[in-house]
């Protein structure tokens, strides 16, 4: 991944300044003038060009102060080549003559080389000189237009002691989903009238279980009958044909049992859940790792792409539970 070896403080005209390290939409028109546009940046609260973030800065997010000290940005041969590039690394506070409690930030660019707008979730790795992990913050940038480049800044959380504690930053993981297939747990109701998303799941003794959730956020009843349709996808969003999809999770083991399929009618505000279950046992053969699963709540429904990070080992099987109504409504 190419990187700039000499960084300067970020100074951009017309920058959209945000106070939180969260999700911000770039929109379909991002970069329409031909050059990169700044979509989201978390900036030092005491630096006058960025404004005051004191009222909105999350408590778990450090608030760098003073004038930044640019640090070298090394080249990483093993960094993911998924359109994300580190363009600057900065120390704030200690080492800059502005305090003894340093924080660190990194500037980055995301280029969408695809043919459709996509939402990116990127994990960054701030590392010490010895290679020890200091922080692995995650940033989500929504709706990066096809062929567009957007810019942002990520901040290492918490104090790290001295400016020497962080000497490098790299891209640990990049995940992207098409905007029209993005899962949603809140916000405006999709045109389909339902929201679909996956929870963080549970893992124990090689057994993995991730919940799928279906919310009727529309104004009409929504009917499902049996199992959601799922498709396992690799990092390039291509179908992984060697994985066998099982109806039910009882064959996966671990006392999961499973739920018998039955017709359900979800009234507005009601929710249903299903489950994905697998084992990461590795024996003979090549292990299968597939980050994405495309989910359709019922045949013919609009697809939603979730990211359960399937580590199937060499088992080659994914169990899918039937939809069951949840007792707590969406509200």
Q: Name the residue among 26, 44, 47 with its Cα closest to residue 36.
A: 26
pLDDT, residue 103, reads 80
Separation between Cα atoms, residue 188 and residue 201, nearest integer Å? 25
pLDDT, residue 223, reads 98
Core vs surface per residue 134-165: b (16+ CB within 10 A) or e? bbebebebbbbbeebbbbbbbbbbeebeebeb
pLDDT, residue 21, reads 33
Per-residue pLDDT tens over the stretch 115-150: 999 999 999 999 988 888 889 999 999 999 999 999
Confirm whether pTM is higher than 0.85.
no
Per-residue pLDDT tens over the stretch 5-56: 333 333 222 222 222 333 344 544 454 444 444 333 333 333 332 222 222 2
Per-residue pLDDT tens over the stretch 211-229: 999 999 999 999 999 999 9
Per-residue pLDDT tens over the stretch 231-255: 999 999 999 999 999 999 888 976 6
């Amino acid at each position: 991944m190419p990187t700039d070896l000499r960084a300067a403080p970020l100074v951009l005209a017309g920058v959209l300044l945000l106070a939180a390290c969260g999700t911000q939409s770039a929109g379909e028109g991002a970069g329409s003038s031909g050059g990169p546009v700044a979509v989201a940046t978390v900036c030092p609260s005491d630096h006058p060009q960025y404004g005051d973030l004191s009222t909105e800065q999350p408590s778990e997010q450090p608030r760098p102060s003073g004038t930044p000290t640019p640090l070298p940005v090394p080249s990483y041969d093993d960094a993911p080549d998924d359109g994300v590039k580190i363009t600057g690394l900065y120390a704030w506070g200690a080492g800059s003559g502005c305090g003894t409690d340093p924080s660190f930030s990194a500037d980055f660019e995301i280029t969408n080389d695809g043919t459709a707008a996509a939402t990116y979730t990127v994990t960054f790795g701030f590392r010490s000189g010895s290679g020890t992990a200091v922080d692995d913050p995650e940033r989500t940038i929504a709706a990066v237009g096809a062929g567009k480049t957007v810019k942002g800044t990520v901040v290492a959380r918490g104090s790290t002691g001295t400016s020497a504690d962080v000497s490098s930053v790299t891209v640990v993981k990049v995940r992207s989903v098409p905007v029209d297939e993005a899962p949603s747990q809140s916000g405006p109701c999709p045109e389909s009238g339902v929201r679909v998303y996956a929870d963080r799941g549970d893992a124990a003794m090689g057994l993995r279980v991730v919940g799928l959730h279906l919310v009727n956020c529309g104004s009409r009843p929504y009917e499902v009958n049996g199992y959601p349709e799922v498709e396992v996808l690799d990092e390039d969003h291509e179908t992984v044909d060697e994985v066998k999809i099982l109806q039910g999770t009882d064959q996966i083991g671990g006392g999961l049992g499973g739920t018998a399929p039955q017709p359900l009618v979800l009234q507005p505000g009601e929710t249903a859940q299903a489950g994905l279950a697998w084992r990461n046992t590795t024996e003979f053969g090549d292990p299968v790792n597939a980050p994405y699963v495309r989910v359709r709540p019922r045949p013919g429904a609009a697809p939603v792409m979730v990211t359960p990070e399937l580590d199937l080992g060499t088992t080659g099987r994914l169990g899918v539970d039937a939809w069951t109504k949840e007792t707590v409504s969406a509200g």
